[in-house]
Structure 1
Amino acid sequence: MAERYGILEEEKVFKDPVHRYIHVRDELIWELIGTKEFQRLRRIRQLGTTYLTFHGAEHTRFNHSLGVYEIMRRMVDNLGQKMTWDPEERLVCLSAALLHDIGHGPFSHSFEKVFHTDHEEWTRAIILGDTDVHTVLKGIGNDFPQKVSDVIAKTYSNKLVVSLISSQIDADRMDYLQRDAFYTGVSYGHFDMERLLRVMRPSEDQAVFKHSGMHAVEDYIMSRYQMYWQVYFHPVTRSAEVILSKILHRAKDLYGQGYQFLDKPKHFYSLFSGKITLEDYLKLDESVILYYFQEWQEESDPILQELCRRFMERRLFKYVECDPSAQMKIWPELIQLFGKIGLDPNYYLVIDSSSDLPYDFYRPGEEEERLPINLLKPNGDLRELSRESDVVEAISGKKRTDHKLYFPKDLLEDQRTFADEKKRIMTLLTAQEG
């Protein structure tokens, strides 16, 4: 292990509204925070378009990443009372926690869907590529960046380390549930993290929890369940994401058609062509995206212009609940009617689905293996959480899915030429709501 980084002469402290203080004692962590790649996260919101629903949700990936680091630091310290950490492996834990989201693009998941990118792949590219982050990590050793990347990829040899950053109860989730609840102003995401950290114990493959702390774990699971349906899948936020996605799709389609933009979207060229480099990717943040949305309001293409104005002015699509199986029967007619009145159904008629599995355990033969949350009994036996908790058993393995159909109700109501078509559209949409 190289001696380039040690302990800071004086501890650095960030004031934080969720954890009160974030403590940095390692030179390595302080250097990583100062890199341009990590500072870029200040310009990417943690919750994408959620600020259009909950006006306080302006916090960033930078805030969240520091919070995950702080929880990991406390986990490592607490577990260190029950086990001995290798000094380098301790730094692997802290670095992976800090950098786990460094590959996120602007508006995160909506952006990924349009351009088929994966933030975890970009995270590993930043850690292993020609970046300041990579240079700092190599100060520990030539193989240290690969070790941190392996934790992100879930291929690291020490599965306990992986579980602390990526499992059904980990530092990442512990921070974003509390942080997102704080900034959106809701009460759902609060749970007793102090208790969880106190009852966490190391095992060979993952962290487990003392049986006496089961109710704190239940509280965490239910907080996650409520946050997904009350905040993350909020229908207004989803409407904004639909419009955002359609703007990006329209710009990409126009580029492919040879359309001449008034303000050439040079930041998008490599994305549109599917040949984006790491250097190009790191130039993207939400200020760049919003700049183009502002400019595209003046474009001659009516669809791009209208969608951008709609997003920037927060004139979001309305929605109706829909049953996909029943909806398919009327879908061809809806598409025809939208086209007839001059609304391209590719951009103005959208089905959006959300689903969440609040807790599950490994089921042999299924595609995705989920490590269970295990409780440590006084006699040393491990028991899977849902076998001990009636509350968790009630929701365990039960995937909840929600489908909504989004459309521009204001444009339909303003329609005066095709009165019969408008009436029929509204009849079909209203029927969807049952």
Structure 2
Amino acid sequence: MVYKDEQLDEEKVFKDPVHRYVHVKDRVIWDLIATPEFQRLRRIKQLGTTNLTFHGAEHSRFNHSLGVYEIVRRIIFNFRNEPHWNTKERLLCLCAALLHDLGHGPFSHSFEKVFKLDHEDFTQQIILGRTHVHTILEKVERGFSQKVADVIAKTYEDKLVVSLISSQIDADRMDYLQRDAYFTGVSYGHFDMERILRVMRPIDDQVVIKSSGMHAVEDYIMSRYQMYWQVYFHPVTRSAEVILSKILHRAKYLFEKKYRFKLEPTHFISFFNERPVLDEYLKLDEAIVFYYFQLWQEEDDPILRDLCERFMNRRLFKYVEFNPNQQMNQWMELYRLFQEAGIDPEYYLVVDSSSDLPYDFYRPGEEEERLPIHLLMPNNELRELSRQSDIVESISGKKRTDHKLYFPADIVSSMQDGKKQRILELLDNGGAKKHVN
């Protein structure tokens, strides 16, 4: 079809704080950006509750998706004369990059866990269903939407195309590390992306890095490591996520118990029933969720009311370090004491765990299989990154896990009976310090 190669009369640009400009020349890309499904991403924050820790983190999935598209656009421009690159895949790569996060819901991963959802599944439903996005993709050529969905699902036959959007050094990660660092105001996520783009080379079914660019990749790997532990897994952000999750769990529980909400939670009903259809999913964004949280501060149920008031006004839980292998007896006693004090431990005594594997060179066949980063040596030999880099080798295959125990310090402090002292002793066990948010 003509639409496949149709160009705009003049190039459109988006001013971007990370990449300076996002360039759009293809009619397909311009039309996809204008769809309601893509515009919805303006109403989904990239970092969920992180703005309660880093107040600048107000950027959206819309920002990020444009950024990933721009990085892929630059990569394939650099690849245009490479013998291993199939120029016919250009538009497919651009569309998949732009749409890769299309199925994210409000507060993303926290929301998914509560309602047992998968944003990648919804991404594919949007691309393949009766949507504006699907209609535009099918104008390119019949079956083009399926190709885009396959790239995002990592099942597309050309693995080189998949690797641009999903690998250990892909456009997705390169954008969110820099973008999240910019908006949170931290320095950890910065690395020399310009250098990495210059030394990327397409080889068969993967992108490799010229050996001369190894130090830029080391910097990228360490940036990723630092961002996860200093930003993404920040304990205060996790406190907000704990409360968010407990609000949704409580609302779902009350709905199942036929509790009479002051306002029927219409937008949540299909989620409470764990049967959301696509149209209902697309109607639920963070503005709608905040609307209900605001109203639920006036509910009769004391737990839902309190949790919503905490979330909306940033009265978060405090936390102590927690070792589940050594402190389960203390946790069980705390659980009992909370129950006896009339504080429901299901909502007010929560263990949260975060773990990350910053780089892994070989996990064939496992869930979330990670393909290694290869260096292209001067003699054209491929060498796996950690075999050449002492820095990367030191963290390769090492999974780090962190556990925190969250609780409402204000409620504990207001207790009057003898249980208060014992609870405080258990929380201080082993010299653990109660952290102030």
Length-normalised TM-score, structure 1: 0.98
Q: How far off its partner does 1:274 sit? A: 1.1
1:319 corresponding residue in structure 2: 319
- Listed as ranges, the matches of 1:201-350 within 5 Å are 201-350=201-350
Amino acid of the structure 2 residue aligned with 1:48: G
Q: How far off its partner does 1:331 sit? A: 2.3
1:146 corresponding residue in structure 2: 146
CA distance in 1, matches of 2:397, 2:112: 27
2:420 corresponding residue in structure 1: 422
Specify the SS of the correspondent of 1:325.
coil
Q: How far off its partner does 1:327 sit? A: 2.0
1:384 corresponding residue in structure 2: 384
Q: How far off its partner does 1:275 sit? A: 1.2
Amino acid of the structure 2 residue aligned with 1:428: L
The change in CA–CA distance for 1:66 and 1:3 in structure 2 (over 3 A counts) is: closer
- Listed as ranges, the matches of 1:3-402 within 5 Å are 3=3, 6-83=6-83, 86=86, 88-363=88-363, 366-402=366-402
The change in CA–CA distance for 1:433 and 1:175 in structure 2 (over 3 A counts) is: farther
Specify the SS of the correspondent of 1:139.
helix
Specify the SS of the correspondent of 1:415.
coil
Q: How far off its partner does 1:80 sit? A: 1.3
CA distance in 1, matches of 2:114, 2:4: 42
Structure 1 contact 174–193 (Cα < 8 Å) conserved: yes
Q: 1:21-51: CA deviations, max 9, x gaps? A: 0000100000000000000000000000000
Structure 1 contact 42–60 (Cα < 8 Å) conserved: yes
CA distance in 2, matches of 1:169, 1:206: 11
Q: How far off its partner does 1:330 sit? A: 1.9
Structure 1 contact 211–376 (Cα < 8 Å) conserved: yes
Q: How far off its partner does 1:146 sit? A: 0.2
Q: How far off its partner does 1:366 sit? A: 4.7
CA distance in 2, matches of 1:421, 1:80: 70
Structure 1 contact 43–60 (Cα < 8 Å) conserved: yes
Specify the SS of the correspondent of 2:326.
helix
CA distance in 2, matches of 1:7, 1:385: 39
CA distance in 1, matches of 2:368, 2:126: 26
Q: 1:120-142: CA deviations, max 9, x gaps? A: 00000000001000001001012
Amino acid of the structure 1 residue aligned with 2:372: P
Amino acid of the structure 2 residue aligned with 1:29: I
Q: How far off its partner does 1:363 sit? A: 3.7
| Fraction of identical pairs, as percent | 70
Amino acid of the structure 2 residue aligned with 1:314: R
Q: 1:155-198: CA deviations, max 9, x gaps? A: 00100000000000000000000000000000000000000000
Specify the SS of the correspondent of 2:117.
coil
Structure 2 contact 84–202 (Cα < 8 Å) conserved: no
Amino acid of the structure 1 residue aligned with 2:27: E
Amino acid of the structure 1 residue aligned with 2:282: L
CA distance in 2, matches of 1:189, 1:370: 21
Which blocks of at least 5 consecutive residues in structure 2 are unaligned?
Answer: 433-437
CA distance in 2, matches of 1:138, 1:298: 47
Structure 1 contact 22–67 (Cα < 8 Å) conserved: yes
CA distance in 1, matches of 2:235, 2:272: 29
Amino acid of the structure 2 residue aligned with 1:351: V
Structure 1 contact 82–202 (Cα < 8 Å) conserved: yes
Let me know the Cα RMSD of the aligned residues: 1.2
Length-normalised TM-score, structure 2: 0.97
Structure 1 contact 50–237 (Cα < 8 Å) conserved: yes
Structure 1 contact 327–432 (Cα < 8 Å) conserved: no
Specify the SS of the correspondent of 1:21.
strand
Q: How far off its partner does 1:369 sit? A: 2.6
Regions of 4+ moved over 4 Å? 84-88, 364-368
Structure 1 contact 208–374 (Cα < 8 Å) conserved: yes
Give the length in aligned residue pairs.
Answer: 432
Amino acid of the structure 1 residue aligned with 2:426: L
CA distance in 1, matches of 2:366, 2:34: 42
CA distance in 1, matches of 2:281, 2:366: 34
CA distance in 1, matches of 2:83, 2:248: 50
2:435 corresponding residue in structure 1: none
